[in-house]
A = this chain, B = another copy of it.
Amino acid sequence: MAVPQPSPAGFRSIATRLGVKDGADDFVVVVSDEPTTSAAVFTRSRFAGPSVRLSRAAADRVRGVVVVSGNANVATPRGLEHATLLRGQAAEQLGVPAEELLIASTGVIGRPYPIERMLPGLRSSLTDPLPEADFAAVARGIMTTDTRPKLHTARCGGATVLGIAKGVGMIEPDMATLLTFFFTDAAVPQPELDAIFRRVVETTFNALSIDTDTSTSDTAAVIANGAAGPVDLAEFERALHSCALALVKEIAADGEGAGKTITVEVTGARDAAQAKRVGKAVVNSPLVKTAVHGADPNWGRVAMAVGKLHEEHDIDPERVRIAFGGELLFPAEQTEALLDRAARHLGGDQVTIRVELGIADGEFTVYGCDLTEGYVELNSAYTT
């Protein structure tokens, strides 16, 4: 991946190897030259790791992020001590208060960091100041089972929004996704940034499910350093949303073992929340996911998945409509020609399933991927 142009001004970074992973960068730091506004959301897992706990307690206006990849530092006896030590050393080297750095860590659960190996490398690699930010290297440095880095930018007046993300399994985010960070040189006041970020996350990362499993390490943050001056806030929200949605689609496409992305557009619901529940039921159904994998226009499995929501008493099969791509399959006469056209859509690598509930005008779109033999192979063989 080429370094995208432009990058937000006023950020510095390093991506290096501290011996957590074999033969790849496993430690990155991004820091702003100047004070910032920022917002962040985290996993709600009861097994949230020490990195999440430290970052939750971080300052409102963080200066940067420290990310370790390859080890989640979760459910180990000295996890909090290690996370505190790593963040503290990084802060000391960079000359910023420790509570102004977010720390995040993903990878295997239940194994201690190789901390003796990590600390000397950390001290020798963190110069002050760091080199000018190389976001492409940062996007690569936070990967675990990802097959490719995920980075998107959007312009907003004279400012740039840049987002990176990692994570392709254990993904049904709830208030956040695995790891995603947005950096911008726009000046955005703190309360507005927080409100905008929560709205954006709700319709992007919280609309994504790879495999119904929720990580213990999910962290999403945006850091705005104001180097490009003030921007129109509505335009900023659109730019942030477009970056986030592009990252979500890339994560779905890179889902563990995935061959296709699945977009489920639910319309005609009582409200957006009901539409989201219906969309999640469809995109999470292993029988729907395997039917998509096999390019089988088996809309009966979509009906089954909608039907599982037995507490939604206003969902009436008589009013439900189900389409694959542009093809209405239920209700419809099941002709060979229709099923062939639907199968052709399912044979592509971007599948859209539409469910119209016929109740009111609530709508929500969710994102996921098919379930393949590759997912099973990867997760049977690999300790994550």
Give 1 or 0 for each of A340-352: 1 = CB within 8 Å of chain B CB. 0000000000000
> Given A46-B317, A111-B334, A334-B110 in contact, is the A304-B380 Cβ separation under 8 Å?
no
Task: Return the contact of A211 from the options B47, B286, B303, B372 (Cβ within 8 A).
Answer: B286
Report the minimal beta-carbon distance from A253 to chain B, rounded to whole angstroms: 18
A77, closest chain B residue (CB): B331
Give 1 or 0 for each of A142-184: 1 = CB within 8 Å of chain B CB. 0000000000000000000000000001100010000000000
A213 close to B294 (CB less than 8 A): no
Q: Which residues of B contact A303 (CB under 8 A)?
A: 47, 74-75, 109-110, 216
Kindly state whether residue A6 has any CB partner on chain B within 8 Å. no
Q: Which of A282-325 contact B (CB under 8 A)?
A: 284-287, 290-291, 293-294, 296, 298-301, 303-310, 312, 315-317
Give 1 or 0 for each of A347-384: 1 = CB within 8 Å of chain B CB. 00000000000000000000000011101110111011
Q: Which residues of B contact A377 (CB under 8 A)?
A: 373
A288, closest chain B residue (CB): B213
Kindly state whether residue A89 has any CB partner on chain B within 8 Å. no
B46 close to A307 (CB less than 8 A): yes
A215, closest chain B residue (CB): B304
> Given A212-B285, A376-B290, A376-B372 in contact, is the A110-B46 Cβ separation under 8 Å?
no
Report the minimal beta-carbon distance from A284 to chain B, rounded to whole angstroms: 7
A383 close to B284 (CB less than 8 A): no
A294 close to B46 (CB less than 8 A): no
A307 close to B45 (CB less than 8 A): yes
A212 close to B46 (CB less than 8 A): no
A313, closest chain B residue (CB): B46
Kindly state whether residue A108 has any CB partner on chain B within 8 Å. yes
Report the minimal beta-carbon distance from A94 to chain B, rounded to whole angstroms: 31
Task: Return the contact of A109 from the options B169, B211, B301, B372 (Cβ within 8 A).
Answer: B301
Report the minimal beta-carbon distance from A359 to chain B, rounded to whole angstroms: 12
Task: Give A293 to B77 CA distance when docked, in angstroms.
Answer: 28
Report the minimal beta-carbon distance from A353 to chain B, rounded to whole angstroms: 15
B310 close to A379 (CB less than 8 A): no
Q: Which residues of B contact A45 (CB under 8 A)?
A: 304, 307-308, 310
Report the minimal beta-carbon distance from A180 to chain B, rounded to whole angstroms: 19
Kindly state whether residue A44 has any CB partner on chain B within 8 Å. yes
Kindly state whether residue A267 has any CB partner on chain B within 8 Å. no
Kindly state whether residue A37 has any CB partner on chain B within 8 Å. no
Give 1 or 0 for each of A73-109: 1 = CB within 8 Å of chain B CB. 0110100000000000000000000000000000011
Additional 11 contacts, C-beta under 8 A, given A74-B300, A372-B380: A45-B304, A47-B317, A75-B330, A111-B334, A170-B287, A211-B287, A213-B286, A215-B304, A216-B303, A291-B379, A371-B376
25 A-B contact pairs sorted by A residue (CB < 8 Å): A46-B317, A47-B303, A47-B307, A74-B300, A74-B303, A75-B330, A108-B300, A109-B298, A109-B301, A110-B300, A170-B287, A170-B304, A211-B287, A212-B284, A212-B285, A286-B371, A286-B375, A287-B379, A290-B379, A291-B380, A296-B380, A296-B381, A298-B384, A372-B380, A373-B373
